[in-house]
Every structure is written in C-alpha cells, then in structure tokens.
Amino acid sequence: MAFELPKLNYAFDALEPNIDAKTMEIHYGKHHNGYTNNLNNIISGTENENKSIEEILQSLNLENKGLRNNGGGYFNHNLFWQIMGPNGGGSPTSEISDSINSQFESFENFKAEFSKAASTRFGSGWAWLCAHENGNLEICSTANQDNPIMPNGCGGNPILCLDVWEHAYYLNYQNRRPDYIEAFFNVINWEEVNRIFLNK
C-alpha cells in the first residue's frame, strides 16, 4: 500500500504574505511529492511496505539513507502543512496553552526558545515541539529530514514543527531565516496543534 501526498486544507496563496504562493506550490508539489514518490519506491516489495510511517521511522536503521531522508521528508511535511492555516497566529489557547505556560513560563519565552532552535540549526533541518509520555513538552531540532521519532530523536511525539531548509523560504526571504521564523508564528493553527497534543 503506497503512501499518498496528503491534501492541503488551504490554497497555495492562503498563507500569504507570511509564506508566498510560489514557495507553497513548489514545496508541496515538488519537494513533498518527491519525498512521497521516493519513499514508495524504496519500500515497495520490502518488509516496510505495509507499515505505518510512524512504525517505519521508529524502527529505522539510520544507515539506510534513502529511507531515512525520504521517510522523514514524507512524515515531516505532513505535520508541517497540518499545523499551519490561513486563520492562524496569535497565542495558543486551551490545554496546549496551559502546558506551554507551565513548561516555559510564558508563550513569549516559548516563542524565543523555539525561534532560537530554528535559527541556530546550521544548514538544513527542522525545529520541533514535542510532547513526552509524562506530559512534559520539549523543544528540539534535527538535521536534514531527521525527526524526533527516529532512533536518534528526543523520543517525544511531535506536535509542532518548522521547516528551515532554504527551499522553505528562500524565494521570499533569501538569507533572512529569522524573518521567516517570525512570519511562521503568524500562520500557526493553534487549534490544530492542541488537537494533536490531546491525541498523543
């Protein structure tokens, strides 16, 4: 059974001016689509063919670079599209707000720490907010298409992520990654993040 590129719940231009339509079109239609097709080719006829993407990544052999890069790329972008939206931004509400405030003291502190993780990731990678089994939240970052559920990850469940590969922002922001990170906070769908948080 092959993995499918998930449907976007909004139009390519829905996140403008924070994320431009051309970047969305290429990022989703070329990059994410490419990871999806490569992943399907790699697992075809193997023991991974009928596993969920979570099962594949949790039991991943890190030496398997093709599966690591494309399986990670598939999973990471699925979450990324999901946690953004045209009516996003502002401050979190509900349970996730309470947890952020108790773990990081305030939303502003959380935003500063998350932004630092995203801005200091050298080269290509991701910043993450993860929920651990004991309820603790943790910010981490990963290189390339690695993620927290891989054997080298923090072990938490990802509930929020930010792609800091240049392909995610270069058309609009060029080398200004900090401006892109700031703009990302205008499109976070906190209602969806809260839903994911409660389902973990």
Q: What does the binding site for Mn ion look like in residue numbers (CB under 5 A)?
A: 163, 165
Check: CB of residue 141 under 8 Å from CB of residue 128. Answer: yes
Min dist CB 164 to Mn ion, Å, is 9
163 vs 192, beta carbon nearer Mn ion: 163
Report, in Å, the least distance between residue 66 CB and Mn ion: 17
Q: What is the closest distance, in whole angstroms, from the C-beta atom of residue 168 to Mn ion in the complex?
A: 5
CB of 184 to Mn ion, least distance (A): 13
* Burial 129-159, CB ≥16 within 10 A → b, else e: bbbeeeeebebbbbebbbbbbbeebbebbbb
Nearest Cα to Cα of residue 126 among 80, 157, 90, 64: 80
Of the pair 172, 194, the CB lying nearest Mn ion is at: 172
Q: Which is nearer to Mn ion, 165 or 190 (CB)?
A: 165
Would you say 100 or 127 has its CB closer to Mn ion?
127
Q: Which H helix or E strand runs over 137?
A: strand 137-143
